Amino acid sequence: MAHRVEVSLKPSLPDPPGRRLKARIASDLGIVADDLRVVDEYVLDRPLTGPELELLVEEVFRDPVIQEATTDEPTHLPFDWLIEVGFRPGVTDNVARTAREAVERTLGTKFGPDEGVYTRKLYFIQGRLSPKQVDSIAGGLLANDLIQTWRVYAPGDDRRVVSVPRVTSKSEAVVQRLNLDISDEELVLISKEGVLALSLEEMQTIRDFFKNPQFLDQRATRGLGAEITDCELEVLAQTWSEHCKHKIFNALIEYGSPGRTRTIDSLFKTYIQGATEKIRKELGDRDYCLSVFKDNAGVIRFDNEWNLVFKVETHNSPSALDPYGGALTGIVGVNRDPFGTGLGARLIFNTDVFCFAPPDFKGTIPPRLLHPRRVFEGVREGVEHGGNKSGIPTVNGAIVFDDRYLGKPLVYCGTGGLMPAEVNGKPGHLKQALPGDRIVMTGGRIGKDGIHGATFSSEELHEGSPVTAVQIGDPITQKRMTDFLLLARDRGLYNSITDNGAGGLSSSVGEMANESGGARLELDRAPLKYPGLQPWEILLSEAQERMTVAVPREKLKEFLSLAEALDVEATDLGEFTDDGFFTVSWKGALAVVLPLDFLHGGLPRMRLKARWEPPVHAEPSLDANTGLTPVLMDLMGRWNICSKERVIRQYDHEVQAGTVIKPLVGARMDGPGDAAVVRPVLGRFQGVAVGCGIAPRYSDIDTYWMMAACIDEAVRNIVAVGADPDRMAGLDNFCWCDPVQSEKTPDGEYKLAQLVRANEALYDISTAYRIPCISGKDSMKNDYHIGDTKISIPPTVLFSAVGIVPNVRLAVTPDFKRPGDAIYVLGETRDETGGSEYFASKGFVGNKVPKVIDPEASIRMYRALHEAIKAGLIASCHDLSDGGLGVALAESAFSGALGATVSLAHLVLTNVDRDDTALFSETPSRFLVTVRPDKQRAFEQALAGFPCACVGVVTSDSKLHITGLTGHVIVDADIWALKQRWQAPLGV
Amino acid sequence: MPAGWGGYHTRRATHSADLHDRGRRAMLARLVSRSVTFSKALRQGSREAGMKIKALVPMGHGINCELETRYALELAGFDVVDTVHLNFLARGEVDPADYHIIVFPGGFLDGDDMGAAQACANRIRHSRVKAERLIDRLTRFVEKGGLVLGICNGFQLVTKLGMLPASSGDYTRREVTLTGNDSGRFEDRWVHLVVDQASPCIFTRDMVRLYLPVRHGEGKIVGKDAPFTETLVERHLAVVRYASPDSDAPTMDYPANPNGAELAIAGLCDPTGRVFGLMPHPEGYLHRTNHPRWTREELPEEGDGLTIFKNAASFLRTA
């Protein structure tokens, strides 16, 4: 019989989470409750005596100072409505896992196979609400139907029955065989119904391979018939998914632009890898790249003893369905990338960039989508729990708003790591599973969570998108595992390591098999969360917090016993071989026999067409108004410009005690930083700067310049704080809408041309700046398509940059420092208001997109600026981006609690004859710099030959005073009023 | 440099019972990550005092500030700093009795599921080391004169174990707890603290004010009843309290008091002054560049937080 314990705060104490929820119900749903209190419910599904229950209440569940508890009896709290929310069977329940361990410890006995602990939340609501309102609170805010169930009780309803969300599937686990010798229509149907995301051509390739006599012979000698098994088809679908194989980036593309057609043989090889190769060649023996594109993350040299590892991933599709779980899984998932690179890295920072529809979105929410406000809060909280609980500082990020992200929010999560340059005498960045090594899975167990994630994210979000693709991360299980694995690494207990992310064991073992030349996996040995999984599900499950390691046979015992000592599950699942096959067995019989060369090389190449026609937008004819104070005030409060402090404060950005430049800076520690600087080796002063660039608005005009602006912004961000422009590395994360021409996507050729152009810019700008991309990722199907509604995101690239800061004591922040300091603008200002926040605020896109017209000159200027920073000549430095010079001046002024007097007439201008253009143009390659008067001369010498103009002075009052091109006052604003507008939208 | 993680080895716990001292030391080397590297000046200091002072920093199960905590102890001049997994303590393979101070670092023990550090308090109360429990070893450690410092999640742990404030000398009964911030959310921000000059706390000797970061969601101190919390202040056990930047008076105003703690209490000690815990992170302000305004203010090279660790070291050297 199941028992129930309910734990509530003493009625005399306030309930902050309850109060916060009540406020959200009022603000998000417009429903006003009088009172809301939250009670924790634990269902203990095992026999317990009365004294045992009492012991558990006192020793496990109740905090005697502040809490009360009931056992097998409802909590006595007044309510008008009671909402009970619990997880669906099989959904990860972290609190229940912790409670279960504590119960076992306290009673000294383990739970049996059919026994368990489950948790629920009880919301006691007082207030005159209608049943419909209560339903909308439950379904619209407290519970997500995909992963949770909820029930509403009125006073007097019987609440004594304890239901147990046990997984009850008793279906027998068998390997099925399929006949692929069927019609094309049936092949397509198999792919579609099975969420395989395989095209007809790919299905045909598989069918034909299973007619190859040599392969059939090989199968026969191993004792497997000619028909493909469900496991094999699933393994192929996962391995060949867009998510894992980047088919579009590797396609043969016929690219037509006005007057010219040419063929591109793989965007990835030509532009991304091509640029990095060129840069590395030019660097020669100064090349600091150690491992690029081939491992889970990129690796560069930090110093003689340490390497820096960096990776950014997206987790968009899961976050659309379950923002909290999707984002949590996103961050703890990307943690495993640097962790599983080379022989493993300790994680030193996180970075998070989100793209949402505006929180005040007023339109209709299409089916299966959630209101952007709910997506925002869910994602924010997921990343909070993932980052904070893992002890990794979240040091950098951005939030971008555009209506089109309603269709799919973008959730970029990145993690940096530090690995020893040498581990037991071997280079830390290399790994090699050897034939004979054991396949050992460590960390969490396998469940039905996250099945088909790889293939699901390779499709648009549609009605049949599987709910099993959603997972909830468990940062503590992962932390235990990483604590253990770092010890195992330093003791040389494994030869190779990789994470179980998309595609689960199929992906991790399938990829590591490439290192040794084969693998034989005994699938039935894999530990399960609960019975009832089919073999293919075990193989494909993306259940979180798992790493696969290759352990030499003679070290297996030591590895397993260390794992056991540290409460980490580790299971020997088979052997790496060199027979050229990925082999999987289920209870002694073969379930998969696939040659590695077909698995990894048999995929037919896509051939795609791209056609570029530059779009033409209406050019606004705005009044040449001289009074721009209201315009500037307006811009400060725009979603893309306003303060993100509320989010930043809820992320621990200082754990590990090395965050030298924090995301919030200035006199009152609430100004926006350009990039973070982390000092990863305490006791040394060399640091890492982390910044990012993202500019999706420019995609509406030309993705070439969008990409150029992203790289330029990311580089300027890190140079502004003190990174050395000659020791940088980049990471590209493309999020596109489907660029493959089809009935569903009639403008696919244009969208693909946009992709081509972005790649061209990546090559041009990154080679000019000599910033090698060391890793990256693409997510190509960010569309929503249900019924007649199709929403495609604007083509979006996040370019993340890391750079070495030679001495963190010389790092610089953007806040004005002292009255009397001279204000300079570096870089020329052009009429580039197309795609700007200024135009957007007036409802226009325009055509004059910001351009990085001379990247060679720009990077030379950044080098000169870096020398000035190293010489201590700079008091403050801020990069110019959204909102142009006007917004940057306001930010630097109120961050420093100082005013400024500025004249636009002194700017270095090209083709600018309007004050609004000069103030709000978003021309890249510019900085706002302040310099102490006694250092002006040296500074001007350092920047001689570059467009660098002294435009004003920092003042001790609180006025931002700007005169225009003709000497008229165009802005006269109080910095605190500007700041108030800037802080108002999201709060602090 | 901090020795990182290199010193760990596992050993089946078959032989921890009757090891003679040498064997014991050899085994210890396998279980702990030890650092004995520190500046020459500090080394000299320890020689003069003639005693090696040893610190134990537990790790594992969600603790995540162990590296900077260890670094703080090294800077403060501890001769030996061992980072030891809680499981090795729970199994009795490492004995607190071999150390002079235990510092429980910040983190998210067991994810803070069921309440901050609640599950780890259960682990320490119910882990059996031969005939006794781990909690018994810890209380004996304190009773024999050892120092305990709990920081943030570590403070939550020692408080929930009952080691703080231990107003009647019982180190196993919970009198005070830490619960959700009034704001209902986790926050990272810097706070001003005023030190009770009359407190017996050995960690805050000669200190008047401190400026440190807080990074928590459950930092609100609540006593078993209101009069009890007042006695903590009266008995000078409320060592540090939140204050506004320009006043020495404890404040209930948000955000100077970031969590709504009763009587603005940020940290507590036991009546001996040798057990101390606080929500803010002293190991988060060891150097000038940790300060959130270091790029615009003249500041000393050493951060406020380091003094707490140095006080512990000098207390042990002179004790």
Beta-bridge mates of residue B220: B179
Q: What is the pLDDT of residue A159?
A: 84
Burial of A64 (0-12, 13-18, 19+ CB in 10 A): middle
Asked if B77 and B291 count as a contact pair (C-beta separation under 8 A), the reply is no
Q: Would you say B101 and B56 are in contact if contact means Cβ atoms under 8 Å apart?
A: yes
Write out chain A residues lying below 8 Å of B59, CB-based. 483
The stretch A882-908 carries a mean pLDDT of: 98
Three-state secondary structure string covering A659-671: EEECCEECCCCCE
Taking alpha carbons only, the member of A879, A855, A864, A872 closest to residue A724 is A864
Give the span between the Cα atoms of A167 and A904, in whole angstroms.
68
**Nearest Cβ partner for B295 among A14, A420, A811:** A811
Contact B114 A102 (CB under 8 A): yes
DSSP track, B263-281: GGEEEEE-TTS-EEEESS-
Give the pLDDT confidence score for residue B25 in this predicted structure.
Answer: 53
The reported pLDDT for the residue numbered A194 is 84
Give the Cα separation of A58 and A629 in Å (integer): 62
Q: Which of B66, B68, B74, B152 is catalytic?
A: B152
Question: Could you tell me if B84 and B9 are in contact, meaning their C-beta atoms sit under 8 angstroms apart?
Answer: no
Count how many residues are written for chain A.
988
Sequential DSSP letters for A666-700: TTTT-EEPSSEEE--STT---EEEEEEE--GGGGG
pLDDT at A625 over 80: no
Reply yes or no on whether the pLDDT at A518 is more than 50: yes
Name residue, tokens 């990338």.
A337
**Separation between Cα atoms, residue A327 and residue A375, nearest integer Å:** 10
Concerning whether B283 is annotated as a catalytic residue, the answer is: yes
3-state DSSP assignment of residue A350 = strand
Q: What percent of chain A has pLDDT over 90?
A: 85
CB contact under 8 A, B111 and A476: yes
Measured CA to CA, the distance from residue A362 to residue A372 in angstroms comes to 10
pLDDT 10s digits, A390-419: 999 999 999 999 999 999 999 999 999 999
Q: Which of A970, A610, A898 is nearest to A754 (CA)?
A: A610
Q: In the prediction, which pLDDT does B28 show?
A: 55
Q: What is the pLDDT of residues A541-592, one digit of tens each?
A: 888 889 999 999 999 999 999 999 999 999 999 999 999 999 999 999 999 9
Q: Which residue of B has its CA nearest to A657?
A: B284
Buried b (16+ CB within 10 A) or exposed e, A608-638: bebbbeeeeeeeeeeeeebebbebbbbbbbb
Per-residue model confidence as pLDDT tens digits over A700-747 = 999 999 999 999 999 999 999 999 999 999 999 999 999 999 998 999
The whole-number pLDDT of residue A623 equals 84
Radius of gyration of chain B (CA): 19
3-state secondary structure of B239: coil
Q: Using an 8 Å Cβ cutoff, are A390 and A652 in contact?
A: no
Tokens standing for residue A429: 């960045």
pLDDT of residue A114: 85
Distance CA A437, CA A2 (A): 44
Nearest CA in chain B to A567: B87
Quick check: A853 contacting B, CB < 8 Å? Answer: no
Chain B residues closer than 8 Å to A658 by CB:
68
pLDDT for the residue A195: 83
| Contact: A420, B4; criterion CB under 8 Å | yes
**Cβ distance of B5 and A490 shorter than 8 Å:** yes
Q: Is A430 exposed, middle or buried (0-12, 13-18, 19+ CB in 10 A)?
A: middle
Strand A81-87 and strand A148-153: pairing? antiparallel
pLDDT of A781 over the 50 cut: yes
Which residues neighbour A531 within 8 Å (Cβ) at sequence distance 6 or greater? A113, A167, A169, A170
Which CATH superfamily hosts domain B22-318?
Class I glutamine amidotransferase (GATase) domain (3.40.50.880)
The CA distance from A496 to A431, in Å, is: 5
Indicate the helix (H) or strand (E) that contains A475: helix A475-490
Determine which helix (DSSP H) or strand (DSSP E) holds B155, and give its type and residue range: helix B153-161
Residue among A342, A352, A349, A350 at smallest CA distance from A301: A342
The pTM is what? 0.94
| Identity of the residue numbered B45 | G
Nearest-by-Cβ selection for A106 from B67, B126, B288: B126
Average pLDDT, chain A: 94
Which residues of chain A from 799 to 818 reach within 8 Å of chain B, CB to CB? 808-809, 811-813, 815, 817
Q: What is the pLDDT of residue A244?
A: 83
ipTM of this complex prediction, to 2 decimal places: 0.94
Omega cis (within 30) before A338: no
Pick out chain B residues at pLDDT < 70: 1-32, 34-50
> What residue of B is the nearest CA neighbor of A683?
B1
pLDDT tens by residue, A61-80:
999 999 999 999 999 999 99
Helix residue ranges, H only, A566-689: 596-601, 629-636, 645-649
pLDDT digits (tens, 9 = 90+) for B46-55: 445 567 999 9
Q: Is residue A178 very low, low, confident or very high in pLDDT (cuts 50, 70, 90)?
A: very high
Give me the mean pLDDT over the A806-813 stretch. 97
Give the gap in angstroms from C-alpha B100 to the nearest C-alpha of chain A: 24
Spell out a b/e string for A232-257, using b for 16 or more CB atoms within 10 Å of the CB, else e: bbbbbbbbbbbbbbbbbbbbebbbbe
pLDDT of residue B29: 56
Rounded (10°) CA dihedral A586, A590, A591, A596: 120
Catalytic residue among B85, B100, B281, B291: B281
CA neighbours closer than 13 Å in the CB half-sphere of residue A791: 21
Question: To the nearest whole angstrom, how far is the Cα of B20 from the nearest Cα of chain A?
Answer: 23
Q: What is the pLDDT of residue A243?
A: 81
- Which residues 189-248 of B have a C-beta within 8 angstroms of A? 189-190, 213, 215, 222-224
Span A917-939, average pLDDT:
98
Annotated domain spans of chain B? 22-318
Token pair for A241: 């998914």
Q: What is the pLDDT of residue A461?
A: 64
- H or E stretch at A18: helix A16-24
Instruction: Note which residues in 189-218 of chain A have CB less than 8 A from chain B.
Output: none
Q: What CA–CA distance (Å, rounded) separates A717 from A714?
A: 5
State the smallest CA–CA distance between residue A389 and chain B in angstroms. 5
pLDDT digits (tens, 9 = 90+) for A443-471: 989 888 778 766 666 666 666 555 566 77
Cα dist. A939→A54, A273, A873 in Å?
Answer: 73, 38, 6
Whole-number Å distance between alpha carbons of A813 and A895: 10
Q: Is the pLDDT of residue A860 over 70?
A: yes
